[in-house]
């Protein structure tokens, strides 16, 4: 993954639990997003999950409830997971590139994402998943390549330096705008399901 270097004042390598990391993230004011949202949406799920899902950032519903993927896109994601035989709180851990809602649900700016990514990278290290699903362009461009296009990369397995298998696919919100994307996402999640079963049976 396209790791953003930690600045000296934001080295999280000594944080050894998600609970401790969350407590620190809740107090973060490293970018302007914190002042314009209700609170930090850290992430949730099984801390020992072998499957991690990464989206863009909280929307209005997520900001209000303090949980990721609880709006219409999140409800659709739950249905996709269920159809694949996966349950979000049992089989997955879900987080976002940025943990505070950008104004008007706009795409996070590169500087905002860069300041927030150390939290996400430490989450990945602590969860230690075997598979990561990148939901949408923002996740793909911030974790893999700023020039990457989700239309070209979705459905293709990538592998991180540490051996994590990575599947980019469309964000569930894109499916709500364009139903023609539902079939490709379902095909991607079938690949994820099959790889997940291999990992669990190995």
Q: Check residue 7 and give its pLDDT.
A: 52
When pLDDT is cut at 50, 70 and 90, the band that residue 173 belongs to is very high
Average confidence (pLDDT) over 35-39: 93
Q: Per the structure block, which two tokens stand in for 160?
A: 């991180």
When pLDDT is cut at 50, 70 and 90, the band that residue 171 belongs to is very high
% of the chain surpassing 90 pLDDT? 93
DSSP 8-state class, residue 103: G
pLDDT in tens, 113-151: 999 999 999 999 999 999 999 999 999 999 999 999 999
Q: How far, in whole angstroms, is CA 53 from its chain's centroid?
A: 5
Q: Check residue 1 and give its pLDDT.
A: 72
Closest to 28 (Cα-Cα) out of 152, 120, 139, 132: 120
Q: Check residue 10 and give its pLDDT.
A: 73
Q: Per the structure block, which two tokens stand in for 25?
A: 């993230």
Write down the architecture of domain 15-201 according to CATH: 3-Layer(aba) Sandwich (3.40)
Is residue 6 pLDDT above 80, yes or no?
no
- Under DSSP, is residue 148 helix (H, G, I), strand (E, B) or coil? coil
Average pLDDT taken over every residue of the chain: 94
Average confidence (pLDDT) over 158-172: 96
- Compute the C-alpha angle 150/151/154, nearest 5°: 65
Q: Check residue 202 and give its pLDDT.
A: 86
Is residue 8 pLDDT above 50, yes or no?
no
Distance CA 139, CA 103 (A): 18
Q: Check residue 9 and give its pLDDT.
A: 57
pLDDT in tens, 51-90: 999 999 999 999 999 999 999 999 999 999 999 999 999 9
């Amino acid at each position: 993954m396209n790791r953003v270097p930690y600045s000296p004042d934001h080295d999280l390598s000594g944080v050894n639990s998600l609970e401790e990391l969350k407590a620190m993230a809740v107090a973060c004011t490293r970018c302007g997003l914190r002042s314009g949202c209700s609170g930090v949406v850290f992430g949730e799920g099984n801390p020992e999950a072998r499957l991690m899902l990464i989206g863009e950032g909280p929307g209005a519903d997520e900001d209000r409830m303090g949980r990721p993927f609880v709006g219409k896109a999140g409800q659709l994601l739950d249905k996709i997971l269920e159809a694949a035989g996966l349950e979000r709180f049992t089989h997955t851990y879900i987080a976002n590139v940025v943990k505070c809602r950008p104004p008007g649900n706009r795409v996070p700016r590169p500087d905002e994402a860069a300041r927030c990514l150390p939290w996400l990278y430490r989450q990945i290290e602590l969860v230690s998943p075997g598979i990561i699903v990148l939901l949408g362009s923002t996740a793909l461009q911030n974790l893999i390549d700023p020039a990457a296009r989700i239309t070209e990369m979705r459905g293709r397995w990538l592998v991180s330096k540490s051996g994590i298998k990575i599947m980019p696919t469309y964000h569930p919100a894109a499916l709500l705008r364009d139903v023609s994307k539902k079939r490709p996402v379902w095909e991607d999640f079938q690949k994820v399901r099959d790889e997940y079963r291999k990992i669990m049976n190995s």
